[in-house]
Amino acid sequence: MPGDLVVPDGALGVVVFVHGSGSSRFSPRNRYVAGALNEAGLGTLLFDLLTPEEEADRANVFDIELLAGRLLERTAQVREHPDAAGLPVGYFGASTGAAAALWAAAEPDDPVAAIVSRGGRPDLAGDRLAAVRAPTLLIVGGRDPVVTELNEEAARRLRAETRITVVPGATHLFEEPGALDAVAEHARGWFVTHFSGARTAV
């Protein structure tokens, strides 16, 4: 499946983007955040979780286990890529993509160093949440009460370092002026902090 990998010189790590249902690697919101991360010296990978044929079956779009499997495959490929070998890996998940990221991170041998969720549905990872070891930042909109409640519920089930950050005035898609800038700033800080810790640990 196609993907767009960008690794700046001297990158601190690589963030793999996991898009939500009905989206793709061309998501303008994810690409905006990815650009901000690149400017901060972080590598990014945006890829399609499903082929066009698979997307035609709506059941696949919400098959979290299937999506997590695809993410794990891409994570392994990133770690073997010459430009990214040896770098810490993080996940940035949106909507159902956040559930796939957390599901994948619950695997015993998953190397993810940090996770950020934007308007995500971490609750869809279910019982897998308790097995996640990566520090997780849950970003929600201040005007997205249902998703905020679902994130709070998921946070109580996560045993790893977890933080919920609310972007005031933002709705589910963070379309309001400055909302995505806030998401990018919070994500950048989270990844830089935890990638630096992962490199020190190595």
Per-residue pLDDT tens digits for 49-90: 888 777 777 778 789 999 999 999 999 999 999 999 999 999
Asked whether 118 and 183 are in contact (CB, 8 A), the reply is yes
pLDDT category of residue 199 using cuts at 50, 70 and 90: low
Mean pLDDT, the chain, integer: 92
pLDDT of residue 110: 83
Residue-wise burial string across 86-103, b where 16 or more C-beta atoms lie within 10 A, e elsewhere: ebbbbbbbbbbbbbbbbb
Question: Phi and psi dihedrals of 114, rounded to 5?
Answer: -165, 150
Work out the average pLDDT over 146-157: 97
The Cα 143–Cα 89 span in angstroms is 31
Single-letter amino acid, residue 126: G
Asked whether 110 and 159 are in contact (CB, 8 A), the reply is no
Work out the average pLDDT over 177-202: 88
pLDDT category of residue 26 using cuts at 50, 70 and 90: confident
Residue entry with tokens 């979290």: 64
pLDDT of residue 56: 72
Q: Strand, helix or coil at 172? A: coil
